[in-house]
Amino acid sequence: MRGKLILIEGLDRSGKSTQAQILSDKLDALLIKFPCRETKVGSIINEYLVDSTVKLSDQTAHLLFSANRWELAHSIVDTLNKGRFVVMDRYIYSGIAYSLAKSRSGGSSDSEMNSIDWLYSPDKGLPKPDCTLFLTLDLEELGNRKGWGEERYEKESFQKIVKSCFEEIFQLDTHAVTKIDVNNMDIPQVSELIMSKLESIGALQTTEKSIERFT
Ligand code: ADP
Ligand code: TMP
Ligand code: MG
């Protein structure tokens, strides 16, 4: 029996990291956050995010985020196969949505950045989550959250486009995504809602099914 891979996605400051931490504590799961800034590739990504003067081509930045996921792919699979759950804070959907938003916002005119196929391809082969939760919160609320605006992509106009890109990607993917509206909910309320959703879709039991991959 293996553990399940549970992914929490959403816009910046929607509460993903808070909820991923609580959920991983409850399930005694391995918590993995992307970007993982502690690896070799992750340290370049971190510089890029915190320092707006750092220049990388959009394609390079995109491929680094994917490479960062590949740095941890084996440890994710090994953990699942040992029967432990893995909770992930962002993954390939963030990878595609933020890059696609660069072209949709007029920030990039390169054809690669406007091609979901191109953006998706470096992530093919990565382990697929058993369950994806997408936290939704009104854009005005995001702007009131602590820490907002510190990093490269934290601008309301850009987040609006990222949100529409997430929606576009989720429509294309047959993989089920459970949306969770977190407006007007405090941290414990969101956590309870997440647990009850996961229970209702049977995501909290180990499984005999082999790990699926993105194809
Ligand atoms: P993300 O990982 O999505 O960027 P965080 O979990 O870091 O978001 O949360 C951003 C900020 O909002 C933190 O200061 C956190 O304490 C706060 N926060 C998280 N969830 C809630 C909530 N439900 N209500 C109010 N504040 C919240
Ligand atoms: P964080 O706020 O969750 O640490 O994420 C940092 C930023 O990186 C956030 O604005 C989303 C962005 N991002 C990408 O652009 N591509 C990716 O593949 C990932 C995982 C995050
Ligand atoms: Mg976070």
Q: Is 147 left (phi over 0), alpha (psi -120 to 50) or beta?
A: left
Ligand 1 atom with minimal separation from the 146 CA: 14
Dihedral over alpha carbons 34, 99, 13, 87 (to 10 degrees) = -30
Which ligand sits closest to the CA of 185? 1
Between the CA of 65 and the centroid of ligand 2 the distance, in Å, is 8
Q: Is residue 17 part of a domain?
A: yes
For residue 2, the 8-state DSSP code is: B
The CATH number for 145's domain is 3.40.50.300
Provide the domain limits for residue 63. 5-200
Q: Is residue 213 part of a domain?
A: no
Question: Which burial class, exposed, middle or buried, applies to 11 when counting CB atoms under 10 A from its CB (0-12, 13-18, 19+)?
Answer: buried
> How far is Cα 72 from Cα 60, in angstroms, rounded to an integer?
19
Q: How far is CA 178 from the centre of its chain?
A: 13
φ, ψ dihedrals at 111, nearest 5°: -65, -30
Q: Is residue 210 part of a domain?
A: no
Q: In the prediction, which pLDDT does 63 show?
A: 99
Q: Is 98 in the pocket of ligand 2 (CB under 6 A)?
A: yes
Q: Is residue 208 part of a domain?
A: no
Ligand 2 test: best mutation among 9, 12, 88, 91, most atoms within 8 Å of CB?
Answer: 12
Number of structural domains (the chain) is 1
Q: Is 42 in the pocket of ligand 2 (CB under 6 A)?
A: no
Q: Is residue 175 part of a domain?
A: yes
Q: Is residue 196 part of a domain?
A: yes
Which ligand sits closest to the CA of 113? 2
Q: Is 13 in the pocket of ligand 1 (CB under 6 A)?
A: yes
- pLDDT by residue for the chain (215 residues), tens only, comes to 999 999 999 988 999 999 999 999 999 999 999 999 999 999 999 999 999 999 999 999 999 999 999 999 999 999 999 999 999 999 999 999 999 999 999 999 999 999 999 999 999 999 999 999 999 999 888 888 887 788 999 888 999 999 999 999 999 876 679 999 999 999 999 999 999 999 999 999 999 999 999 99
- 65: its two tokens: 């985020």
| Non-local CB neighbours of 156 within 8 Å, separated by 6+ positions | 139, 142, 143
Between the CA of 1 and the centroid of ligand 3 the distance, in Å, is 30
Cα Rg of the chain, angstroms: 17
Q: Is residue 206 part of a domain?
A: no
Q: Which amino acid is present at 57?
A: S
> How far is Cα 154 from Cα 69, in angstroms, rounded to an integer?
22
Q: In the prediction, which pLDDT does 142 show?
A: 82
Bridge partners of 89, per DSSP, are 8, 33
Q: Is residue 71 part of a domain?
A: yes
Q: What is the residue with the minimal CA distance to atom 25 of ligand 1? A: 186
φ, ψ dihedrals at 82, nearest 5°: -85, 0
> How far is Cα 73 from Cα 152, in angstroms, rounded to an integer?
26
- 177-181 and 86-89 strand pairing: unpaired
> How far is Cα 66 from Cα 127, in angstroms, rounded to an integer?
13
Q: Is 187 in the pocket of ligand 1 (CB under 6 A)?
A: yes
Q: In the prediction, which pLDDT does 206 show?
A: 98
Q: How far is CA 41 from the centre of its chain?
A: 17
